[in-house]
Amino acid sequence: MKAFSRVILVLLVLFSALHAFYFISNGQKLQSALASLGFGLMAYGSWREERRGADGTPLVRDRRARGVSMLGMVLVTAYFVLRFTGP
């Protein structure tokens, strides 16, 4: 993994944990659950996708990791829609 990918991975895990804390402590809102799950799925997809062989060539791409990451993006988008259009 390159340094930028590591930073993104750490940020995604941090955002996931932060929204999980908000979900537990602030009345279990659907928005926080969607954000926590979405950021967690994007972190998992990012972690699984960045695999390289010993010579630096990329290994076989993990289609499941890409799909999980896309699902995470959809959930985070739903979180933003609920947050900014809700009451």
The Cα 45–Cα 57 span in angstroms is 19
Predicted confidence band at 64 (pLDDT cuts at 50, 70, 90)?
confident
The Cα 28–Cα 68 span in angstroms is 24
Evaluate if residue 53 carries a pLDDT over 70. no
- Report pLDDT for 36: 94
Element (H, E) at 34: helix 30-49
The Cα 83–Cα 68 span in angstroms is 22
Q: Which of 13-17, 39-43, 46-50 has the lowest mean pLDDT?
A: 46-50
